[in-house]
Amino acid sequence: MQQIAKDFAERLNKCLDELNMPVNSRERSVMLSKMLDIPKQQAWSLIEGQLIPNDVLLQQIADELEVETDWLQGKKK
């Protein structure tokens, strides 16, 4: 499960890089929390690969970043 969270975080951060979000994880988590309307701690945990989003949040992230949920989960290259 830990590796799944790390892989998810890698893909999430790639998308956030493309949006030119700050590289600093604290600043990035603040921006992600505002984008998704989630607590900063939850956003930080997603960015750091410590948390896997539930299906509802996963879909919300995919919609915001305009990517497929399967790609975010590593099910698709």
Any idea what the CATH number is for the domain that residue 31 is in?
1.10.260
Mean pLDDT of 26-33: 96
- Is the pLDDT assigned to residue 57 strictly greater than 80? yes
Predicted pLDDT at 75: 87
Contact 26, 45 (CB under 8 A): no
Predicted pLDDT at 49: 95
SS3 65: helix
Is residue 39 domain-resident? yes
Is residue 60 domain-resident? yes
Is residue 77 domain-resident? no
Is residue 42 domain-resident? yes
Predicted pLDDT at 53: 96
Confidence of residue 76 (pLDDT cuts 50, 70, 90): confident
| 44: containing domain | 2-72
Distance CA 18, CA 30 (A): 17
Domains: count for the chain: 1
Q: In the block, which residue shows the tokens 């410590």?
A: 50
